[in-house]
Amino acid sequence: MSSISLASTEPLLGRPRAELDTPALLLDLGRFEANMGRLSSTIAAGGKHWRPHSKGHKSPWIARRQMDFGAIGVTCAKISEAEVMVDGGIPSVLVANELATRHKVERAARLQARAEVMICADDPYHVRLASDVAADAAVEIPMVVDINIGMDRTGVAPGRAALELARLIDRADGLRLAGIMGYEGHVLTAWPNEEKHAQTVAAMDGLIESRRLIEADGIAVGIVSGGGSGNHMFAAALEGLTELQAGGACFMDPFYGELCHLEELGFEYALTILTTVTSRPTPERVITDAGFKTLSAREEWHAVVLDHDDFELVYLSAEHGVWLRRTDGPPVAIGQQLEIIPDYHDTTTFRHDTFIGLRDGVVEAVIPLLARGRLH
């Protein structure tokens, strides 16, 4: 099992939850491991590799723990995040975001001496830039074709356009075509499951058909990467895909649990915010020390308080959470600790320096988010 040793965190080890200061980002290690096991086993049963995204946790410790459960590496959103992952011992990284400046591509080139760090392209510009950098650095940079499979964010069109870009990469000095990727994030909340399955198949058809075209042209396609937590069970079963980037289900939140319906598959809420009630101005109002510097509040979904279905979030200010409750709910007193399931872990975790990892309510690990703030 992966471990850390930080002198500044040692006083927390062995402490019960009730003795922790607040607000704090808690990770229930038992639930986290159960979620990883459930996710990775489904992906493996479909004959796919697992390359979970790290943008939601930004921690090499977490990435190494996922590798203990079968992951082959990580997917990153930024080259700075990839640097942290490589420093943390992760051997294979896909930067699933176009690098459009020479400085960023040079950083990717330098990483090749220590790990496989793949970058992506959806335009000849990216190919020319990476080829120039690779030639100057005397290294080979692996590159994937980013294909738009319906999310309409980045990506070249499937089919002929994807083939032309793959040819360009394959023939470029200093580059190696590592494969293709696409992200079908627009289908994750489709419901019922029959509709989600149909939309997953329709989206992935563009990726899989592009693979066929490229291979028919005599160009080897290494990885075919895609798949999110919300539809991992369907993506894992598709012929032609080689790896899934799903990672959010390891932590869970109302987006994945309620909107993507992963609660129904047995995934558990492993990530919470420990907060303290600081004021009770009226019988209906509860003020906590967790504001928008601690967690996010999006209109599309909502944070919830564990064991308090009678709580409704009114708003977050910088350092205050303002909640309303029905007077017939369980009593709540100033100084009492509460646990909040954040609305979306991606927009919550980066606000914290560490996860406090607990097992059976006792601190077992203090896990740094070493890629926090790495935006470049």
CA distances from 220 to 234, 274, 365 (A): 25, 50, 43
10 band by pLDDT with thresholds 50, 70 and 90:
low
Q: Kindly report, residue by residue over 135-166, the tens digit of the pLDDT.
A: 999 999 999 999 999 999 999 999 999 999 99
Q: What pLDDT was estimated at residue 301?
A: 77
- Report the C-alpha dihedral over residues 280, 285, 290, 291, rounded to 10 degrees: -130
For the entire predicted model, the pTM comes to 0.95
Length of the chain: 376
* pLDDT-above-90 percentage for the chain: 94
Res. 7: pLDDT tops 80? no
Residue type, 209: E
Res. 329: pLDDT tops 90? no
Res. 105: pLDDT tops 80? yes
Residues linked to residue 357 through DSSP beta bridges, in sequence order = 27, 365
158: left (phi over 0), alpha (psi -120 to 50) or beta: beta
Average pLDDT of every residue of the chain: 95
321 band by pLDDT with thresholds 50, 70 and 90:
very high
Q: Parse the chain into domains and list their residue ranges.
A: 30-248
Instruction: Give me the mean pLDDT over the 49-72 stretch.
Output: 98
CA distances from 206 to 180, 240, 333 (A): 11, 11, 56
Other CB atoms within 10 A of residue 307 CB = 11
CATH number of 30-248: 3.20.20.10
